[in-house]
Structure 1
Amino acid sequence: MRPVIPYVIGALLFGAGVYGVLRRRNAVLVLMAVELMLNAVNLILVTADTTVRAALPHGGQVFALFVIVLAAAEVGVGLAIVLQLYRLRASVAVDTVRLDAAPASELDEPRVTTS
């Protein structure tokens, strides 16, 4: 098999992931798009490992394993953040989240300062 085919498929998958990150409004779908990009990188790493064996034996497969572990950690942390966001705002829409504002509970209470 020619190594060009997996490289092109990996590039297309990565492009679809970038499009998903830039265009999606739902945080869960953004996480899925990031996973798609990581899987595209895994495909390219394994393809590079099979085509170029002189530098490191099985180096691409080891890096792909590290990317899989990183993706699992990213899913755990990302879904925890999405669940907390849903509990606070009752929405997981990315474009409605203000990152510079305090939570609603802190805005309702007046601040008392003592001198």
Structure 2
Amino acid sequence: MVPLWWYIVLGVALFVIGAAGVLLRRNILVVLMSLELLLNSVNVNFIAFGHYYDDYRGQIFAIFVIAITAAEVAVALGILVALARNKSTLKVDEVSMMKG
């Protein structure tokens, strides 16, 4: 049996990689993938703690997070396709189209 702290270390590592990608990268696609890593690291911890405590609430909550993430990705990719058609760039610094 794998100890709980291995899952916590995996979740922390994924979270740090995702946070570094969000803060350091300038390509919008890489930022979105880094956000996915952040959410998946939280899901790993939800499922690990749910299994450790023999409770299904962590797994159910992880499924809800996955569903919300799928909806977020669908909307974000639609916006990116429209942005790529109009601006021909996906750099975060060069996009000012959505400023009010």
Q: Normalised by the size of structure 2, how large is the TM-score? A: 0.91
Match of 1:61 among 59, 62, 70: 59
User: Which 4+ stretches in 1 moved above 2 angstroms?
Assistant: none
2:91 maps to 93
Task: Map 1:24-39; keep pairs closer than 5 Å.
Answer: 24-39=25-40
Distance 1:25 1:50 in 2: 37
2:51 maps to 50
Distance 2:72 2:12 in 1: 22
Amino acid at match of 2:20: Y
- Count residues with an aligned counterpart: 98
Cα drift, residue 100 of structure 1: 2.8
Distance 2:99 2:76 in 1: 19
* 3-state SS of paired residue (1:46): helix
Structure index of larger Rg: 1
* 3-state SS of paired residue (2:20): helix
Q: Normalised by the size of structure 1, how large is the TM-score? A: 0.80
Unaligned runs of 5+ in 2: none
1:73 and 2:71 aligned: yes
CA deviation profile, 1:73-108 (whole Å, cap 9, x unmatched)? 11101101111111121101111112436xxxxxxx
Amino acid at match of 2:92: V
Distance 1:37 1:10 in 2: 9
Amino acid at match of 1:100: K
Unaligned runs of 5+ in 1: 102-115
